[in-house]
């Protein structure tokens, strides 16, 4: 069992071990959770095995046959039927934490029994799911071994790249994805009190003129539901050179409102704050709310874009997607935000406090990252155009002109992870 950070060298190690067994005439499989991930392994597999004279590469079967007659076949675990078969000398399950447990228990484990083959489970942790359970058991079971290896063990990964990832992704995600730590995201708080910074205090600026103002709205499912409130959070992003990219939370209000009251609160806020876009979580009856809003806006002569946003992850992951923006000081809170701030600090333990947090996430996560804002962090390197460019496609960085939707906007993770997440959304817990 190997829990290792991103870019540690997991895939390379797995393929290398398969090659070693195949060179000794063994039959091995290299298994990835999905077809696209298997393709990554297949490319590594071809690259490494091409160096061996007399090797036969069968593209259609994703099969490498060595002169010893040993072989490596690349498989994807999203098709369990393709994992049937027996007589393996070794198997690597890459990114195990994102694969289904049945792939191991029902298909791969039986395939190893007759030849007493080995198995290597190799993954970046993904919360406390079955990979974690297996990792725990491996520490006690005879014949098993468990290793935990953070990304920084790989000498080829530059220190400043890691520092930047730490800053961009926030502490929790960094600890899991790079530190290879098993974290219980279900109990960890996404926000800390010491991160909260206020506009116009402690040297922080007041909201400058020319903010691009947007809002997030989280409607309560039913008015009878006494716990959940509907919540509206309004935020502006600075575009002037001095404050470029900083986010000012201007207003956060919540209440037990009927659908008409919801529409009224939103539409009264539009001229008050010059709101350009309102993002509303796209579930069930919110389509009706959009219709009401569009009609009412026309009647009142207001120009506002109402955008329905598909909820992309569970609440906690959504909060963790923007908590780095609070942690690194991009987000500043205006006066009168105590309700929102208390809510941010109360979740996930107090499940009644999600309304304002969710609305704030809808409001804040839609803004593009503007890199200039990060240069002001004490001790951080001044961002060069090259670096800005290299990160432009990563994480929150998206071109300004792009209309942001949850589909296009995967939170704070770099694209490789985003692709990964897309492939596994169905498999992630929650």
Question: CB of 149: closest distance to Mg ion in angstroms?
Answer: 13
Phi-psi region of 274 (alpha: psi -120 to 50; beta: other; left: phi over 0): left
Binding-site member from 2, 11, 211, 337 for ligand ATP (CB under 6 A): 11
Under rule CB under 6 A, residue 121 binds ligand ATP: no
Strand extents, DSSP E, 195-323: 212-218, 230-237, 247-255, 275-281, 305-309
Q: What are the φ and ψ backbone dihedral angles of 148, each rounded to 5 degrees?
A: -130, 120
Quick note: the x/- pattern for ligand ATP over 142-171, rule CB under 6 A, is ------------x-x---------------
In angstroms and rounded to an integer, the radius of gyration of the C-alpha atoms of the chain is 25
- Residue 174 CA to chain centroid, in angstroms? 11
Contact flag: residue 217 with ligand ATP (CB under 6 A): no
For ligand ATP, the closer CB: 154 or 167: 154
Q: Any contact of residue 131 with ligand ATP (CB under 6 A)?
A: no
The answer to whether residue 329 forms part of the interface with ligand ATP (CB under 6 A) is no
| 416 makes contact with ligand ATP (CB under 6 A) | yes
Site residues, Mg ion (CB under 5 A)? 10-11
How many residues are recorded in the chain?
Answer: 430
Q: Which residue has the tokens 């690349």?
A: 74
Cα–Cα distance, 244 to 361 (Å, whole number): 20
Residues β-bridged to residue 92:
30, 120
Using the minimum distance from each CB to Mg ion, give the nearer residue, 73 or 96.
96
In the complex with ligand ATP, the residue whose CB is nearer, 4 or 97, is 4
Task: CB nearer to ligand ATP: give 4 or 228.
Answer: 4
Rule CB under 6 A: is residue 413 a binding residue for ligand ATP? no
The one of Mg ion, ligand ATP, none whose footprint includes residue 132, by CB under 5 to 8 A per kind, is none
Number of residues that bind ligand ATP (CB under 6 A): 11
- Residue holding tokens 């990792």? 135
Contact yes or no for 410/421 (Cβ under 8 A): yes
Residue 290, SS3 per DSSP: helix
- Indicate the residue whose CB is closest to ligand ATP: 9
Residues that bind ligand ATP (CB under 6 A): 4, 6-12, 154, 156, 416
């Amino acid at each position: 069992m190997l829990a290792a950070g991103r870019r540690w060298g997991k895939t390379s190690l797995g393929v290398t071990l398969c090659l070693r067994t195949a060179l000794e005439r063994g039959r091995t499989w290299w298994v990835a959770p999905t077809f696209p991930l298997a393709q990554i392994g297949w490319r590594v597999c071809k690259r490494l095995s091409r160096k061996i004279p007399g090797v036969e590469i069968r593209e259609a079967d994703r099969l490498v046959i060595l002169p010893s007659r040993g072989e490596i076949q690349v498989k994807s675990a999203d098709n369990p039927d393709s994992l049937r078969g027996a007589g393996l000398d070794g198997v690597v399950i890459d990114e195990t934490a994102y694969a289904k447990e049945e792939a191991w228990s029902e298909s791969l484990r039986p395939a190893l029994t007759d030849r007493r083959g080995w198995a290597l489970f190799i993954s970046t942790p993904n919360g406390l799911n079955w990979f974690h359970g297996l990792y725990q058991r491996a520490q006690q079971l005879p014949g098993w071994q468990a290793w935990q290896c953070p990304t920084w063990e790989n000498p080829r990964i530059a220190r400043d790249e890691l520092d930047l990832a730490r800053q961009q992704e926030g502490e929790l995600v960094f600890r899991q994805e790079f530190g290879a730590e098993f974290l219980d995201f279900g109990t960890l708080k996404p926000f800390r009190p010491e991160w909260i910074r206020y506009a116009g205090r402690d040297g922080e600026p007041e909201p400058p003129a020319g903010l691009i103002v947007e809002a997030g709205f989280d409607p309560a499912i039913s008015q009878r539901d006494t716990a959940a409130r509907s919540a509206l959070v309004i935020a502006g992003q600075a575009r002037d050179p001095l404050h470029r990219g900083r986010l000012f939370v201007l207003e956060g209000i919540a209440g037990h409102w009927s659908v008409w009251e919801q529409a009224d609160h939103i539409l009264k806020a539009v001229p008050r704050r010059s709101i350009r876009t309102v993002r509303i979580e796209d579930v069930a009856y919110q389509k009706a709310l959009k219709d009401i809003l569009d009609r009412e806006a026309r009647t009142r002569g207001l120009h506002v874009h109402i955008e329905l946003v598909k909820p992309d992850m569970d609440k906690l992951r959504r909060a963790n997607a923007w908590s780095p923006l609070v942690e690194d000081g991009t987000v500043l809170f205006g006066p009168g935000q105590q309700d929102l701030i208390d809510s941010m600090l109360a979740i996930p333990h107090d499940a009644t406090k999600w309304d304002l947090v969710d609305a704030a996430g809808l409001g804040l996560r839609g803004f593009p990252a503007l890199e200039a804002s990060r240069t002001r962090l004490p001790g951080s390197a001044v961002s060069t155009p090259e670096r800005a460019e290299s990160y432009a496609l990563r994480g929150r960085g998206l071109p300004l002109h792009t209309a942001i939707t949850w589909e296009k906007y995967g939170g704070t993770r770099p694209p490789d992870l985003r692709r990964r997440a897309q492939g596994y959304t169905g498999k992630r817990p929650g």
